[in-house]
Structure 1
Amino acid sequence: MSTDQPPPDQPPEDDPFSKRPPPPPPGGPPPGGQPPPGGPPPGSPYDSPYGGGSPYDNMPPPPPPYGSGYGGGYGGTDPLSGMPPLADTGRRILARLIDWVIIAVPLAIIGIPFDIYQRATRNGDGFDNTVNSLNGGSQLVFQLITIVAYIAYDTVLTAKNGQTIGKKLMKLRVAMLNDGTTPPMSQSLLRAVVLWLPALVCCACLWPLLLLILIMVDKPYKQGLHDKAAKTVVVTVPR
């Protein structure tokens, strides 16, 4: 029988009641929760696919909130954060009048073969009332041409860059409310239909007045019914 005894501070190796510190996990940090000196070992949870440190280090910055180059941060939940100021109501009215004249002059020339002026003289009515009230075949064709001209003009130019000729002269543009981009063709068409169709069919004076009142009282985005339908706003163009 051996008389060798283990050192007093060290329990026997076969002592089942002895507690030894567990070995460190492979590739992990040493006991105590601190990474080893000189940086974490390969494969440790401190590694980052971006080159060390937090997984969020060296990530590319987020893109600007609007694709049209307005810049500015998100700054909260306001969809207009970073966008130019909303358009002044007076400039919107001038832009709309310019667009109306641009379309009305060619239509006036086209209307000569449709006998609209002689019929207007006989009835004593104005141009708009004549176009909207006549039921003859030629007048109906002219009314359809008028509707297509106004809606197509507004739709195509708005979908192209957000500007009709009137808005371009007044330094305004139409933008999507959620991100400031140019409205796509579908939204531009919806906006143009709500803007022009009621006025050309039945409410030549009442509908534009209603849209104007809504633009003036709407808060905070100055949206008429056509803007609300298409989810657009009208903003100024940076000079």
Structure 2
Amino acid sequence: MSNDQPPPGPPDDDPFRKKPQEPQEPTGPGEATPPPADGPRAGGGSPYGSPYGGTGGPYGAGGGGQPPPYDGGAYGGPYGSADPLAGMPPLAPFGKRVLARIIDMIIVFVPLVLISLAFGGVEVTYGGDDWDEVADRVNSGRQWLWSLITLVAYVGYDTVMTAKSNGQTVGKKIMKLRTAMLNDGRAPDVGSSLLRAAVLWVPALVCCYCIWWLVIVITVLTDKPYRQGLHDKAGKTVVVSTTQ
């Protein structure tokens, strides 16, 4: 029996001394490269996976997920998909969008009427042949001031509610809808919300009320595949259904 002692130091087969093995190359046509030891990375999913954005992926809190599966190329997104609506919640039905807009208009209109009554009301002239007098009243400084107040009220309401309330105005919250950025599903920031509201309200209240609303309705009904009105295209947003 030999009395030779093993050399000093840990044995060669000590697992703490071994270096990580390099991935093995396939040795034949029927063999595949083995997966990493820690398994596949968890995917993040679409940012539209929850009513107010996902929790994984590069656009959610977790990070490291997959990019949106729908086509964001229209706004500079590098990703594409056969189905541009894949991963998104259902687009908002047109009827619900109209009802939500009516609710929001009433919410802004009622305080404006009360303020107007407090300052003597809006002067309306019926009949009479002195059209110059009528034009002078319409073009008076008071009338222009009131138009400016109305414009600021509607644009401000839409901007603040969209940017600060997860893309939901009061009308959209009642109808379970929300406005989201098309490229990543998050709530629009102040800049996008302001641009969207300005395109919607400035032409309608300044020059072409009925015609502009008709244009908005037609663009929402005919746009494919996202049902974007001109204001949605300006803000790069889409209106979708939500559970809250």
TM-score (norm 2): 0.67
Conserved 8 A contact 2:177-2:240: yes
1:166 to 165, 171, 175: 171
Q: Which runs of 5+ in 1 are unaligned?
A: 1-37, 48-52, 125-129
Conserved 8 A contact 2:46-2:88: no
| Cα shift at 1:138 | 1.6
- Distance of 2:127 and 2:159 partners within structure 1: 34
Deviation digits for residues 130-167 of structure 1 (CA, Å, limit 9, x no counterpart): 9xx82212222111111110001000110121111111
- Distance of 2:69 and 2:171 partners within structure 1: 32
| Cα shift at 1:116 | 5.3
Alignment partner, residue 42 of structure 2:
61
Report 1:25-174 matches (<5 A).
Answer: 42=19, 45-46=22-23, 57-58=38-39, 60-66=41-47, 68-69=52-53, 74-75=68-69, 77-78=80-81, 80-112=85-117, 117-118=122-123, 120-122=124-126, 134-160=138-164, 161-174=166-179
Deviation digits for residues 189-217 of structure 1 (CA, Å, limit 9, x no counterpart): 11000011100100111101110011011
- Against the structure 1 CA distance between its residues 82 and 71, is the aligned structure 2 distance closer, same or farther, given a 3 Å change threshold? farther
1:176 to 175, 181, 186: 181
Larger radius of gyration: 1
RMSD: 3.1
Conserved 8 A contact 1:70-1:84: no
Alignment partner, residue 208 of structure 1:
213
Q: Percent identity?
A: 51
Conserved 8 A contact 2:180-2:238: yes
Deviation digits for residues 30-89 of structure 1 (CA, Å, limit 9, x no counterpart): xxxxxxxx9xx6276449xxxxx7568446423232063468975563553222100111
Q: What is the DSSP-based 3-state SS (H/G/I as helix, E as strand, rest coil) of the residue aligned with 1:97?
A: helix
Q: Which runs of 5+ in 2 are unaligned?
A: 1-14, 25-33, 57-65, 71-79, 129-133
How many pairs are equivalent? 188
- Distance of 1:108 and 1:69 partners within structure 2: 37
Q: What is the DSSP-based 3-state SS (H/G/I as helix, E as strand, rest coil) of the residue aligned with 2:122?
A: helix
TM-score (norm 1): 0.68
Conserved 8 A contact 1:71-1:82: no
